[in-house]
Amino acid sequence: MARIVMKFGGTSVADLDRIRNVAARVKAQIALGDEVAVVVSAMAGTTNQLVAWCQSLSPLHDAREYDVVVSTGEQVTAGLTAIALQAIGVEARSFCGWQIPVSTDGQHGKARINAIDGADLSRRMGQGQVVVVAGFQGIGPDERVTTLGRGGSDTSAVALAAALNADRCDIYTDVDGIYTTDPRIVPNARKLARITYEEMLELASVGAKVLQTRSVELAMKERVRVQVLSSFSDEPGTMVVDEDEVLEQEIVAGIAYSRDEAKITVRKVPDKPGIAAAIFVPLAEANINVDMIVQNVAEDGTTDMTFTVGKGDFPRAMAVLEAARAHIGYAEISADQNVAKLSVVGVGMRSHAGVAGTMFHTLAARGINIQVISTSEIKVSVLVAAEYTELAVRALHTAYQLDA
Ligand code: ASP
Ligand code: MG
């Protein structure tokens, strides 16, 4: 007997037939003798609609009222799922965040969970009841409904699994697991049986958007075993686990790409102490995340500084740099939004040399120029012209022997 949290995303509860399918899956899990808590998202498209309604009435709406509106999608699916379970003879009850309670901080629209009281849910599960929890929502210190930010029901599920001391948190989504790369680019990408938390975090941060990044951070911190799988098939999914659970670690787990970044070069800044601070502190103060950074060697007492920011932040970043022009003292700025970041990720890099070399050599052999490089302990990223994205991802996938 195990205790399982089963989380169903928007596509898995998109209509009544799919909700019936979810109920049948839960019933099958119960039949194995397991205790089950269910966490649901809103029906696919619902949250977008609710957000749009708030924005149409007032672009600068009250975030507390926004939460009242957008949290309703999950309340609907929690109730419907409980009804569907009861209809096939499974004892079930729905819970909104405030009823448990799921206590969050007061940042309406992007609240963080502080604590979940799992005692009552635990007792009910022990008596054979399925508890169905509305994801994405909680209650703030002001006693008002909060939501956790888009995609937040993954985080609800992981936090609940931690609070209930669950053996596993199964996240049912519209993909059947984590792949070595995007199967739309590389049709013979392989589904991974296991991936480590750290690899999953790196992949999530470079564009493989299967789980909300915060949910992976939380799973890693609380040591929650997460499985990503599809509610439309019976195939086993991908387990996200601790590093020492992976016995034969491949050196590279996957290749990710992102076209969400823009490159900025600040030319001919004085090469003296404080120049990096003069550039990056104003960007940080404007809440703009800088990703890759390179500083060139200085000639004639000046240097060039190249870095990347998210495309969404690009116009603001240019405005901030323009405003700080006199203070920084640069000659000119050039920018390029036609770039892609390619990343090779794997914990095996810690103990194996040559991963970066293989990447550079593979790209060189295709005539692809590398514009910026950055590395972490388990990741090598390069920036290239966007038009080479597909070619580069395919070549790297083959070079690291990831093809099925
Ligand atoms: N329904 C919310 C959203 O669309 C939360 C979630 O699905 O995870 O962002
Ligand atoms: Mg989601």
Tens digit of each residue's pLDDT (9 = 90 or more) over 51-105? 999 999 998 899 999 999 999 999 999 999 999 999 999 999 999 999 999 999 9
Measuring CA to CA, how many Å separate 73 from each of 41, 112, 270, 297, 339? 7, 19, 54, 54, 37
**Confidence (pLDDT) at 244:** 82
**Confidence (pLDDT) at 162:** 98
**Confidence (pLDDT) at 253:** 93
Pocket around ligand 1 at a 6 A CB cut-off = 9-10, 41-42, 47, 73, 135-136, 150-154
Q: Whose CA is nearest to atom 5 of ligand 1?
A: 151
Domains along the chain?
Answer: 3-174 (3.40.1160.10), 255-399 (3.30.2130.10)
Task: State the distance from the centre of ligand 1 to the C-alpha of 10, rounded, in angstroms.
Answer: 7
Identify the burial level of 63 via C-beta atoms within 10 angstroms of its C-beta, where 0-12 means exposed, 13-18 middle and 19 or more buried. Answer: middle
Tens digit of each residue's pLDDT (9 = 90 or more) over 201-237? 988 766 667 888 899 999 999 999 999 999 999 999 9
d(CA 251, CA 350): 9
Task: State the distance from the centre of ligand 1 to the C-alpha of 47, rounded, in angstroms.
Answer: 6
> How far is C-alpha 348 from the chain's CA centre?
22
Q: Name which of 96, 109, 103 is nearest 65 in CA terms.
A: 109
The list of the chain residues with pLDDT below 50 reads: none
CB contact set of 75 (below 8 Å; sequence gap of 6+): 94, 96, 134, 137
Check if the beta carbon of residue 229 is closer than 8 Å to that of residue 176: yes
Closest ligand 1 atom, residue 10 Cα: 7
**Confidence (pLDDT) at 351:** 87
Residue type, 279: I
Mutate to test the pocket of ligand 1, among 7, 11, 12, 47 (most ligand atoms within 8 A of CB): 47
Q: Whose CA is nearest to atom 6 of ligand 1?
A: 151
Mutate to test the pocket of ligand 1, among 43, 150, 172 (most ligand atoms within 8 A of CB): 150
Tens digit of each residue's pLDDT (9 = 90 or more) over 291-304? 999 998 878 889 99
